[in-house]
Structure 1
Amino acid sequence: MTDATSAAEPANTAASWPALAYEEQFWDSKSLATFGPAATRVSQHRRTYKSSVPPMIAGLNPVASQEAEELAREAEFALRDFDSVHGKRMQQFAPILLRSEAAASSQIENLSASARQIFTAEVGGKGKRNASQIVANTRSMEVAIRLADDISIDSIRKMHRVLMYDEPRHTPGELRTEAVWIGRNAESPIDAVFVAPAHERLNGLLEDMCSFAQRGDVNSLNQIAVTHAQFETIHPFTDGNGRTGRALAQSMLRRRKLTRNVAVPVSAGLLVNVASYHDALTAYREGDVTPIIQSFAVAALRAIPNGQKLIADIDEVKERWHSIIKPRAKSAKAQIFAYALKRPVFTAEMAAEHAGIAVQNVYRDLKSMQDQGYLTISVEHQGPTIWRQADVLKAMDEFAKRAGKRTL
């Protein structure tokens, strides 16, 4: 590495934030071809590139434009109000909302699957690989929320370890020891659009970012948006940075008490305009925090009505089917009926454990609800026999469709 160069550091005012500096690096092409025409092309090509050097932000105060600041305060109020008014009642649907957020976050990375595929993968069914990756993202977000009081390198590594547990080639939970970049050439960072910081800088940058994230004197949504953008710029892992960064955002929403009871699906709001989200990250790297703060504020304000609509749809399913099933209060059947609303794909063993009865005693109620049309049964190839509540799965898929539209 050589010394970083940048313009003089700007004052910390609205739309003014330290831009990235850059330093020259040497690209070792020994891992590429060493003989023949390919080797000749490599030897004739430039072997230096510039990696980014993000600013240290622990002591900075991000200030956006007046419009973005007002929008961020509105979003903070809306999130707290949503959680305080509806949060406790919605706790029963927390698994649904968390999986919706994980699915939306994954879809930003072009990983998509139906609600049925996601829940089926969660109970051990074989199928679409994307579904398994979304399940891993759900577990990463669960870890993130549990670790909300510990924003540290260690907690971030734990989120990544859970996310990438089935991707050993990407060294789950381990900081990268190689260059990563955005560009058309997968073999070399030379001429890349963006090259993340040299791996030797990762620990210092992450410690600084975590210090910023732990402060209590920065406006909440500004802090969350900037921490996310800084994390994506540092890009500490070889893969899974986007999903880990959005899990970190959920952790910080809980830490700053914008959410206390449920995970508001903010990624679903970002999904409305992925290009704008990526442009906001680019603007941040160029020294403007306004677009990323505004993106998070708009995403939160969109996520709330979309989440409310999802819960209203599930409430409608509950009321309609309850009048048909008529389960006796506090009976095993009533417990299984409610269980299917928050976990719409399950095995007999899972239902029995939830209801507190022996497995052999659960089949009568399952069969009864199947005959009445509330549940369907499927025997998965090389997997378990599973029961599904189709209306809840449909509601989740409709949620995902709305998340990708500009109007709800």
Structure 2
Amino acid sequence: MIAEASVPLSASLQGEAEDAIREITRFDAEVSAVLTHRGDGDGLSDIELAPLASVLLRTESASSSEIEGITAGARALALAAIEEKSGVNAQLVTANVAAMQKALAMSDEISIRSVLAAHESLLTGHPYADPGRLRTEAIWIGGAALSPHAAEFVPPHHSRLPELMDDLVLFAQRVDLPVLVQVAIAHAQFETIHPFNGGNGRTGRALVHAMLRRAEVTRRLTIPVSAGLLTDTPAYFDALSEYRAGRIVPIIDQFVTASFRAVANGQKLVSELDVVCRSWSARLASRQGSAARLLLPHLLNQPAVNVKFIVAVLGVTATAAQRAVAQLEAAEILSPLNANRRNRVWLAGEVLDALDGFAERVRRRR
């Protein structure tokens, strides 16, 4: 039980955790300021923060899923978002985006109810996981399927889940701890409780972002902390095991390191997308306010589009949407995915390249 537990820390570790939080807060503020108030005369002042915030949310969701072995490339995720043919993994990552969104939307209320809502968003349609409900049976990690004998870890008995989750929520609501320290411990405790039949890791990482938002460390963005953890997953899993043995320093170290990695990778991705946007603005001949130009910010978040999507997001006619696509093709901003005359899809290759580059960086083991 950790609701009222003391958390002894060395001065150096506490300082590192506070430095990491400052980096996250600074990144959130800088990106918000730059993309919301550009006005620099290069034709990009209409590129709002919302699409880029969605980009970071999706990259975080993809990284969190990849920690669990669920991998999907940027193109597959973009196609899944417009309900084009995509694999099961892309659909699972898309569901993880919804779970993250639900957790962030309910960040003012860190409660069992909000955790259950995030889990339900994550695994709706997957009855094995009993979405939105605490498990009612024993589970274990590793070993054989029929018995917990030789399992790597056996979480608490399901009869204890209500009291353990209540205790976790009380800990998450404390205001006397350094934020990143509190987040790391809450996450490790959640993974130790393992309250669900499936989806514990992804739901537990969604809780991380709800806590960061509640503490106002982040206001607009989702910092890709899972991407930082993904860079060295063995160390992350080892740190969770250390926590279960009563040693809290390793998991805090992992979150400190992951946060610095997350900011560095996030800054690089934002910079690359900014270069893409400037290039688009220079190449696109259409006037300000045209459908083609209004579509540009949406391509950051959704680099695979069809006419139906364009009509929905811009509120224009199908004819205007087709005209916008033609202009964007002429400027080499969009290229057709297929040669079909009906149900055609176009891709923003430069955005997909930037997103795949981000994914490749975070996979490099250190």
Match of 1:198 in 2: 157
Partners of 2:358 and 2:173 in 1: CA distance: 33
Task: Tell me if 1:207 matches 2:166.
Answer: yes
Partners of 1:234 and 1:380 in 2: CA distance: 51
Once the 2 structures are TM-superposed, how far is the Cα of residue 363 of structure 1 from its aligned partner? 0.6
Once the 2 structures are TM-superposed, how far is the Cα of residue 354 of structure 1 from its aligned partner? 2.4
Q: For the structure 1 residues 354 and 89, does the alpha-carbon distance in structure 2 shift closer, same or farther, using more than 3 Å as the test?
A: farther
Task: Tell me if 1:89 matches 2:34.
Answer: yes
Q: Which amino acid aligns with 1:327?
A: S
Once the 2 structures are TM-superposed, how far is the Cα of residue 380 of structure 1 from its aligned partner? 10
Match of 1:394 in 2: 353
Match of 1:21 in 2: none
Once the 2 structures are TM-superposed, how far is the Cα of residue 345 of structure 1 from its aligned partner? 1.6
CA offset digits 1:309-335 (Å, max 9, x no partner): 001111111112221113311222210
Q: How many residues align?
A: 351
- 1:95-114 correspondence runs (5 A): 95-114=54-73
Structure number with the higher helix fraction is: 2
Q: For the structure 1 residues 165 and 81, does the alpha-carbon distance in structure 2 shift closer, same or farther, using more than 3 Å as the test?
A: same
Once the 2 structures are TM-superposed, how far is the Cα of residue 379 of structure 1 from its aligned partner? 5.2
Range moving further from structure 2, 64-73 or 192-201 = 64-73
Does the aligned pair in 2 maintain the 1:377–1:385 contact within 8 Å?
Answer: yes
Q: Which amino acid aligns with 1:307?
A: G
CA offset digits 1:341-395 (Å, max 9, x no partner): 23212221221232231223211111221233211223599x9532221110110
Moved over 6 A (4+): none
Give the unaligned 5+ runs of structure 2. 36-48
Q: Percent identity?
A: 39
- 1:274-353 correspondence runs (5 A): 274-353=233-312
Task: Tell me if 1:256 matches 2:215.
Answer: yes
Q: Which amino acid aligns with 1:388?
A: L
CA offset digits 1:292-325 (Å, max 9, x no partner): 1111111011110100100111111111222111
Does the aligned pair in 1 maintain the 2:70–2:89 contact within 8 Å?
Answer: yes
Q: Which amino acid aligns with 1:260?
A: R
Once the 2 structures are TM-superposed, how far is the Cα of residue 234 of structure 1 from its aligned partner? 0.3
Once the 2 structures are TM-superposed, how far is the Cα of residue 249 of structure 1 from its aligned partner? 0.3
Q: What SS does the corresponding residue of 1:194 show, helix, strand or coil?
A: coil
Q: Which amino acid aligns with 1:87?
A: S
Range moving further from structure 2, 106-115 or 363-372 = 363-372
Q: Which amino acid aligns with 1:73?
A: E
Match of 2:13 in 1: 68
1:153 to 103, 108, 112: 112
Q: Which amino acid aligns with 1:102?
A: S
Once the 2 structures are TM-superposed, how far is the Cα of residue 406 of structure 1 from its aligned partner? 4.8
Once the 2 structures are TM-superposed, how far is the Cα of residue 337 of structure 1 from its aligned partner? 2.3
Match of 2:319 in 1: 360
- 1:132-281 correspondence runs (5 A): 132-281=91-240
Does the aligned pair in 1 maintain the 2:286–2:327 contact within 8 Å?
Answer: no
Partners of 2:344 and 2:306 in 1: CA distance: 6
Does the aligned pair in 2 maintain the 1:61–1:218 contact within 8 Å?
Answer: no
Q: For the structure 1 residues 315 and 358, does the alpha-carbon distance in structure 2 shift closer, same or farther, using more than 3 Å as the test?
A: same
Structure number with the higher strand fraction is: 1
CA offset digits 1:215-274 (Å, max 9, x no partner): 112110111001100000000001100000000101111111111110000000001110
Give the unaligned 5+ runs of structure 1. 1-55
Partners of 2:302 and 2:85 in 1: CA distance: 18
Does the aligned pair in 2 maintain the 1:62–1:223 contact within 8 Å?
Answer: no
Once the 2 structures are TM-superposed, how far is the Cα of residue 101 of structure 1 from its aligned partner? 0.2
Q: Which amino acid aligns with 1:164?
A: L
| TM, length-normalised to structure 2 | 0.92
Q: Which amino acid aligns with 2:171?
A: F
| TM, length-normalised to structure 1 | 0.83
Q: Which amino acid aligns with 1:213?
A: A
Partners of 1:154 and 1:327 in 2: CA distance: 49
Does the aligned pair in 2 maintain the 1:339–1:351 contact within 8 Å?
Answer: no
Match of 1:124 in 2: 83
Partners of 2:286 and 2:269 in 1: CA distance: 24
Q: For the structure 1 residues 146 and 384, does the alpha-carbon distance in structure 2 shift closer, same or farther, using more than 3 Å as the test?
A: farther
